[in-house]
């Protein structure tokens, strides 16, 4: 079926393509996740799609980067801030964001496509991924003045695993499931308590 492109509007072609990709890739069925479907949803020709994104892998990578960016930054604590409360807030944000239906749908799509497109393994590790942001937060002078954190990257990986590994796997295999807010808060609180107890100086 020939696609008739819509007149230009205030939304850039790239934004229109990403909006269409979110609709097709994340809200639809995996078997419908094709560049043809994205072109039809965006009201564009495939030629226009490929001008913006050279491949489906590049488009999926853009969705991943966008998803990570939506999480926002983690502001380093200032002297006098409650570090335990600040870290708890960060982990609640991380769990809430990455167990959302959209994030889970994106993760399932990457897993289903990685056999066909092995290069997705690199595209699925965008810069600024939460572990990196948590590591930067843990490396801040205020945190390191109070806690013995020799390797912020390793510490961030452990923290991320504590809050995401089990719950993330369960949600990946149960499409309709979501994580209740009280469980998110409980998991974040326990992770913070266990982690900080282990790195407290003189503890």
The Cβ-side half-sphere exposure at 116, using a 13 Å CA radius, reads: 9
User: Which two three-digit tokens encode residue 107?
Assistant: 């993760």
Domains along the sequence of the chain with CATH: 13-54 (1.10.10), 71-199 (1.10.357.10)
Note whether 28 and 67 are within 8 A (CB). Answer: no
Question: What pLDDT digit, counting tens, does each position of 162-199 carry?
Answer: 888 766 666 666 655 678 899 899 999 999 999 999 99
- Per-residue b or e along 161-188, where b marks 16 or more CB atoms closer than 10 Å to that residue's CB: ebbbeebbeebeeeeeeebeeeebeebb
The Cβ-side half-sphere exposure at 179, using a 13 Å CA radius, reads: 28
**Bridge partners of 147?**
200
Q: How much is the pTM?
A: 0.83
Task: Give the whole-angstrom CA distance, residue 160 versus residue 99.
Answer: 13
- pLDDT tens, residue order, the chain (203 aa): 444 444 445 789 999 999 999 988 888 766 677 899 999 999 999 999 999 999 988 998 899 888 888 888 899 999 999 999 999 999 999 999 988 888 888 888 888 788 887 877 766 555 557 888 999 999 999 999 999 999 999 999 999 988 887 666 666 666 556 788 998 999 999 999 999 999 998 65
Note whether 91 and 158 are within 8 A (CB). Answer: no
């Amino acid at each position: 079926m020939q696609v008739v492109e819509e007149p230009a509007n205030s939304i850039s072609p790239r934004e229109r393509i990403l909006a269409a990709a979110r609709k097709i890739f994340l809200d639809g069925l995996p078997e419908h996740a094709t560049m043809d479907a994205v072109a039809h949803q965006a009201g564009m020709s495939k030629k226009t799609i490929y001008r913006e994104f050279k491949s489906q892998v590049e488009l999926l990578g853009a969705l991943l980067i966008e998803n990570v960016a939506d999480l926002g930054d983690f502001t380093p604590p200032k002297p006098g801030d409650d570090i335990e409360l600040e870290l708890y807030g960060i982990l609640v944000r991380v769990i809430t964001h990455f167990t959302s239906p959209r994030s889970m749908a994106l993760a399932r799509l990457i897993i289903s496509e990685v056999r066909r497109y092995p290069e997705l393994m690199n595209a699925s590790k965008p810069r600024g991924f939460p572990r990196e942001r948590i590591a930067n937060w843990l490396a801040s002078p205020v945190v390191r003045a109070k806690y013995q954190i020799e390797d912020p990257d390793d510490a961030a990986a452990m923290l991320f695993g504590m809050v995401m590994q089990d719950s993330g796997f369960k949600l990946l295999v149960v499409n309709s499931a979501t994580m209740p807010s009280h469980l998110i808060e409980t998991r974040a609180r326990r992770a913070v308590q266990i982690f900080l107890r282990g790195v407290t100086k003189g503890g």
